[in-house]
């Protein structure tokens, strides 16, 4: 079984500052993927970034980076230079790389960017 824990129900950040959203996970699968999705108020799920468990380097996508610490089982999302449009719910998720490959989600973090 897989489990994702997001301990920050809500976060505030000033525009143009960086923010880290925490995510820890637990799994017995030897190979897995870690994901971050953004969900604005419209409800759509927007894929942000992916990290494979065997990837040596931390993933980066534009202003998003994933701070992957395998020994600690953490996969924190770092958003640099926050923008007002970053205000949304953010979900950490994981899936095994074999088998059903469905996503297991955390409970999310609501990020509010203040001007």
Q: Dig out the tokens for 55 from the structure.
A: 């990837």
∠ CA 65-68-73 to the nearest 5 degrees? 145
Q: Dig out the tokens for 18 from the structure.
A: 């960086």
* Binding residues for other proteins restricted to 11-70, rule: CB under 8 A: 33, 35, 37, 42-45, 47, 50, 52
CB of 54 to other proteins, least distance (A): 12
Q: Dig out the tokens for 1 from the structure.
A: 């079984």
Q: Dig out the tokens for 107 from the structure.
A: 């409970």
CB of 99 to other proteins, least distance (A): 9
Nearer to other proteins, 35 or 68 (CB): 35
Residue 3 binds to other proteins (criterion: CB under 8 A): no
CB 25 within 8 A of CB 35: no
Residue 102 binds to other proteins (criterion: CB under 8 A): yes
Binding mask 70-89 for other proteins (x = CB under 8 A): --------------------
CB 17 within 8 A of CB 82: yes
CB 67 within 8 A of CB 58: yes
Nearer to other proteins, 14 or 31 (CB): 31
Contacting positions for other proteins (CB under 8 A) = 4, 33, 35, 37, 42-45, 47, 50, 52, 91, 93, 95, 97, 100-108
């Amino acid at each position: 079984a897989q489990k994702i824990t997001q301990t920050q129900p809500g976060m505030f950040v000033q525009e143009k500052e960086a923010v880290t959203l925490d995510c820890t996970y637990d799994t017995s699968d030897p190979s897995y993927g870690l994901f971050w999705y953004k969900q604005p108020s419209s409800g759509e799920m927007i894929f942000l970034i992916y990290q494979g468990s065997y990837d040596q380097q931390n993933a980066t996508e534009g202003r998003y980076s994933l701070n992957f610490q395998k020994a600690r089982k953490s996969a924190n999302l770092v958003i640099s230079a926050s923008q007002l449009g970053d205000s949304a719910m953010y979900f950490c998720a994981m899936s095994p790389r074999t088998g059903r490959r469905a996503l297991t989600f955390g409970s999310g973090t609501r990020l509010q960017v203040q001007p």
